[in-house]
Amino acid sequence: MKPAAFEYLRPSSLQEALQFLADLGEDAKIISGGQSLIPVLNMRLSTPKYLIDIGRIEELSYIREEDGYLVIGALTKHRDVEFSPLVQKLCPLLAEAVRWIGHPQIRQRGTIGGSIAHADPSGELPCVIAALRGEIVIAHADGEETVTPEEFFLTYLLTSLQPDQMVKELRFPILPETSGYEFTEVARRHGDFALVEIAAVVDLDENNQITLARLAAGGANPVPCVLEDAEEFLIGKVPTVDVLEEAAGLASEQVEPDSDLHGSVDYRRSLVKTLTKRALQTAIKRAGGNAR
């Protein structure tokens, strides 16, 4: 199928794009990399009167360090994040997670703003930004505001974005250099969206006790799920096999997966448990600790 007819607009600045959004409201849709929107248009699941192509707004493509955050512009391509030395240095979890997104061709076109706005519950970026307690900067014609992932992601493919708003920037807190990380997932085929994915970061003190734990699951709830019970449980513990087993059990109890064609509730829950344990083992190793 082909998309329904639309009028194509190509603003050359952020302000111009925001003015289009303010003037056209619900009749307009932003297109950035087009990797998710084009199939939606082709299937006529969405029939906007106007498409606002932000693909050439260069001011929205950047990766920089700012006030303790790694800050990434919405139009930055997954591929640029994947190969950025700054991302590798300041937020290696993100660099690792991005490599799980689709295939190189998709990462070459897809943008981080598009992934966040699309809000797929199995998307890697929503899971990472939730685990790290990052921030999403939203712009509109009259200014901008910063929201948490919890405020932003409402349910499957639905966010708090209003018709006159767009994602401008993602902000990831920089964690201690000594911390270890791991992003892992299970998908039916290489490059598919994950059935379940886990993002983990831990840091340990000189006594091998956990001082920091960040954990989130994707694909297991309608929105990314911060595994707070497991995080709290881990703090102050020496990571023995039993401790990791118990943390993984808490993680699997906290998620509320749905059953679908690809996996039952029980299967997804058991994936959360297995992947959480594996992710923690690797993160602890990378933090210089040991899990015996």
Ligand X SMILES: Cc1cc2nc3c(=O)[nH]c(=O)nc-3n(C[C@H](O)[C@H](O)[C@H](O)COP(=O)(O)OP(=O)(O)OC[C@H]3O[C@@H](n4cnc5c(N)ncnc54)[C@H](O)[C@@H]3O)c2cc1C
By the rule CB under 6 A, 35 interacts with ligand X:
yes
Strand ranges across the sheet with 7-9: 7-9, 50-53, 28-31
Q: Is 76 in the site for ligand X (CB under 6 A)?
A: no
Helical packing angle, 265-286 and 241-254, nearest 10°? 140
Residue 186 is a binding residue for ligand X (CB under 6 A): no
Per DSSP, the residues of 61-89 read --EEEETTEEEEETT-BHHHHHT-HHHHH
Nearest CB to ligand X, comparing residues 117 and 248: 117
What is the footprint of ligand X within residues 116-135 (CB under 6 A)? 117-118, 120, 123-124
Q: Which of the ranges 110-118, 142-150, 170-178, 225-233 carries the binding residues for ligand X, by CB under 6 A? A: 110-118
We find the least distance from the C-beta atom of residue 182 to ligand X, in angstroms, to be 17
* CA 227 – CA 253 distance, rounded (Å): 9
CB of 124 to ligand X, least distance (A): 5
Report if residue 167 touches ligand X, rule: CB under 6 A: yes
Query: Does 102 help bind ligand X (rule: CB under 6 A)?
Result: yes
Q: Centre a 10 Å sphere on the Cβ of residue 292 and count the other Cβ atoms it contains.
A: 9
- 110 interacts with ligand X by CB under 6 A: yes
Helices (H) and strands (E) in the chain, counts: 12, 14
Does the protein bind ligand X through residue 173 (CB under 6 A)? no
Q: For ligand X, which residue of 76, 84, 111, 254 counts as binding (CB under 6 A)?
A: 111
Residue closer to ligand X, measured from CB, 188 or 235: 188
Contact yes or no for 66/86 (Cβ under 8 A):
no
Q: Considering only CA atoms, which of 69, 76, 156 is closest in space to residue 114? A: 76
Question: Which positions touch ligand X (CB under 6 A)?
Answer: 29-37, 74, 101-102, 106, 109-111, 113-115, 117-118, 120, 123-124, 161, 166-167, 191, 193
